[in-house]
Amino acid sequence: MDTLLVVDDDDGILKLFESALKTSFRVLTAPDGAAGKSVLEREDVACVVADQMMPGLTGVELLREAVTLRPYAARILVTASDRVKDLSDAVNLAQVHRFLSKPVRITELIGVVKSAVHQASLERENQRLVGELTEKNGLLQRALSQVQDSERRLEREVEERTRQLREANVELEKLALRDGLTGLYNHRFFQDAMTQEMSRAARYGNPLSLVFIDVDHFKNYNDLCGHPAGDALLKDLGRLLTATQDAPEFRFRGRASDIVSRYGGEEFCIILPMTEGAGALVRADRVREMVSQHPFERREVQPNGVISVSVGVASYPKDALDKAGLIKAADDAMLAAKRAGRNRVVSAPS
């Protein structure tokens, strides 16, 4: 049975988590980050579940320690924080596998822990296969000068190990949070983030807006300039969409709380927490103007000599009451912007 470490300064939470998980794991608990670190130093744990807000070491800081002390342990952060910096630190510094938002539902807790442990086991297996493949390749080189039968046997074994390694890497890529081309959050992360933000908006009665962005005449640009140039355009657009107050070289900047994702192809999304429709329209039009004014390479091949985007905006609860409805409303508004002539912003009809 795998060992699980739960770290929280709330004794009631510790007991609740231990009771929920003890049938599947050997559960260890710690009342703060320092005590949790001590457990990590002496116990080979398969997973660490840490609350973010604790005295002394925060959850992110503890999980960052876990990266060094127990690199193959799954890392789960429990947080009620809406601060993007907390989440960014968790991804970039603590390499967190999963997030749990407070209040935590027990069914969600069990599912998230099992999923994270499975992902961590894939990572461990991936490293093991890399080591085995390296070792087998060495044996193959030595065997080449000996018996031909041994050579063929080892070649088949290397092929099988390579296949296993490739399959493990495919699984890891599916679980990745980032789009490989632009570095933005990917479609999977976007769906998870929308679920969390919709839940938070409904719980606290806050507004939430969604912006859909599509590059106008992108096929024309690809056909005339080539796919490498199209990829470079999408990368530049990703930089523009994620520009914040920390990037003074851009005239129009978003908030650090905006969640920018590549939805697919030449489509991008911006989730705007705590933003009503009027504010979202302002942000969307700034994006549209920023893109049309940016000096993209080879922009002269496009109609009117500019790279432009069509933008659709939808808001909760005005335009939709659930995730699927809000995504459809924003997407439909974006398509309406294209039909209306492109290079414009259209809001979902009330």
CATH of the domain at 249: 3.30.70.270
In a domain, 180, yes or no: no
Same domain, 136 and 199: no
Same domain, 6 and 81: yes
The total number of structural domains in the chain stands at 2
Band the pLDDT of 250: cuts 50, 70, 90.
very low
Q: Which of 120, 142, 175 is at the close of a domain?
A: 175
Same domain, 1 and 114: yes
pLDDT (average), residues 259-275: 94
State how far the Cα of 103 lies from the Cα of 308, in Å rounded to an integer. 42
Residue 196, Cα to own-chain centre: how many angstroms?
A: 13
Asked if the bond preceding 273 is cis, omega within 30° of 0, the reply is no
State how far the Cα of 242 lies from the Cα of 62, in Å rounded to an integer. 28
Band the pLDDT of 168: cuts 50, 70, 90.
confident
297 is catalytic: no
Band the pLDDT of 166: cuts 50, 70, 90.
confident
Instruction: Report the b/e string of 246-258 with b at 16+ CB within 10 A.
Output: eeeeeebbbeeeb
Going through 219-330 in order, the beta strands assigned E by DSSP cover 259-264, 267-273, 309-316
Active site residue: 197, 266, 267, 289, which one?
266
| pTM metric for this prediction | 0.51
pLDDT (average), residues 86-115: 80
In a domain, 182, yes or no: no
Band the pLDDT of 281: cuts 50, 70, 90.
very high
| Chain segment 60-97, per-residue pLDDT in tens | 899 999 989 998 898 999 987 665 465 666 666 668 88
Q: Which of 175, 203, 223 is at the close of a domain?
A: 175
In a domain, 181, yes or no: no
Same domain, 2 and 129: yes
| CB proximity list for 255: less than 8 A, separation 6 or greater | 244, 245, 272
CB 310 within 8 A of CB 292: no
Domain extent for 338 = 187-347
Q: Which of 109, 113, 155 is nearest to 136 (CA)?
A: 155
State how far the Cα of 7 lies from the Cα of 70, in Å rounded to an integer. 15
pLDDT (average), residues 234-240: 93
Band the pLDDT of 120: cuts 50, 70, 90.
confident
State how far the Cα of 206 lies from the Cα of 200, in Å rounded to an integer. 8
User: DSSP label at 265?
Assistant: T
In a domain, 343, yes or no: yes
Same domain, 195 and 296: yes
| Chain segment 20-76, per-residue pLDDT in tens | 999 999 999 999 999 999 999 999 999 999 998 888 898 889 999 998 999 889 899
Q: Which of 175, 209, 230 is at the close of a domain?
A: 175
Same domain, 28 and 165: yes
- Distinct helix (H) and strand (E) counts, the chain: 11, 10
CATH number reported for the structural domain that contains residue 37 in this entry = 3.40.50.2300
Q: What local confidence, expressed as pLDDT, does residue 140 receive?
A: 73
Same domain, 207 and 106: no
Whether pLDDT at 302 is above 80: yes
